[in-house]
Amino acid sequence: MRPKIVVFASGSGSNFEVIVQRTRDGYIPAEVSCLITDRADAGAIKRAMRYGIKAVTINWKPREVGESKALAILEAEKPSLIVLAGFMRILSADFVSKWRWKILNIHPSLLPAFEGTTNAVELSAKKGVRISGCTVHFVDETVDGGPIIAQAAVAIDPDDDIEKIKQKVHALEHKLYPMVIKGILEGKIWFDEKRSRTAFAEGSLKLDDPPIFSISV
């Protein structure tokens, strides 16, 4: 049986869908077994239905109840990886400790820039950043502060509006997230407890698009 991934999403779910596609085309050696969402109107649910993936909506208020329901699902699914893809809730330290180094998140900025905000793209536009991007990191007890796994950068033109920046960042996310998930499931990327940072086997993040990706391992 292929390893399982459980995805958590609150929004449109474009990252969720790309991850599903990349499991279906064999790039990611796993199956997405379940989508967990905290919003009954999340676009991700429709996408899950299209792919025949079970979607569970959990009322996250209060957080303890939401988390205990999610934990029960995870216990049943026993996923190799939990992937947060636009999930708008902060997971408690207790939750994180139960799945330590098995939870990933993606953030639409080059962390630690615009850390801890859900408006990273809007703030980047407001500040006039000229290089934006996205970050995939392990989730720990901090908000957007867990060990960084990979980042991809893209140039922002002074004329780019918020929508344009979102498009550019999303395009990067759709490449970077599957790459990292694959690397972790293949045992080529892991959290090194001794060195307290992410470790990589050689060639684990191969760049297929040098003009966009600025980082190689």
Site residues for ligand GRF per CB under 6 A: 9, 11-16, 85-86, 106-108, 134, 173
Specify burial of residue 97 (Cβ count, 10 A radius: 0-12, 13-18, 19+). exposed
> In the complex with ligand GRF, which residue's Cβ is closer, 13 or 183?
13
**49 token code pair:** 């239905």
CB of 1 to ligand GRF, least distance (A): 27
Q: Is 107 designated active site? A: yes
Q: What is the tally of helices (H) and strands (E) in the chain?
A: 6, 9
Helix (H/G/I), strand (E/B), else coil: 53: coil
The residue with its CB nearest to ligand GRF is 86
**Per-residue b/e over 132-153, b at no fewer than 16 CB within 10 Å?**
bbbbbbbbbeeebebebbbbbb
Q: Are 195 and 137 in contact (CB under 8 A)?
A: no
State the catalytic residue, choosing from 107, 137, 170, 174.
107
> In the complex with ligand GRF, which residue's Cβ is closer, 108 or 178?
108
CB of 118 to ligand GRF, least distance (A): 8
Considering only CA atoms, which of 117, 118, 121 is closest in space to residue 109?
A: 121
CB of 35 to ligand GRF, least distance (A): 11
> In the complex with ligand GRF, which residue's Cβ is closer, 4 or 89?
89
Backbone φ and ψ of 36, nearest 5°: -115, 130
CB of 16 to ligand GRF, least distance (A): 6
> In the complex with ligand GRF, which residue's Cβ is closer, 34 or 186?
34
**27 token code pair:** 């790039």
> In the complex with ligand GRF, which residue's Cβ is closer, 140 or 173?
173
Q: How far is CA 141 from CA 28, 96, 104, in A?
A: 27, 7, 12
**166 token code pair:** 């979102």
* Amino acid, single-letter form, for residue 154: V
CB of 111 to ligand GRF, least distance (A): 11
Catalytic residues: 107
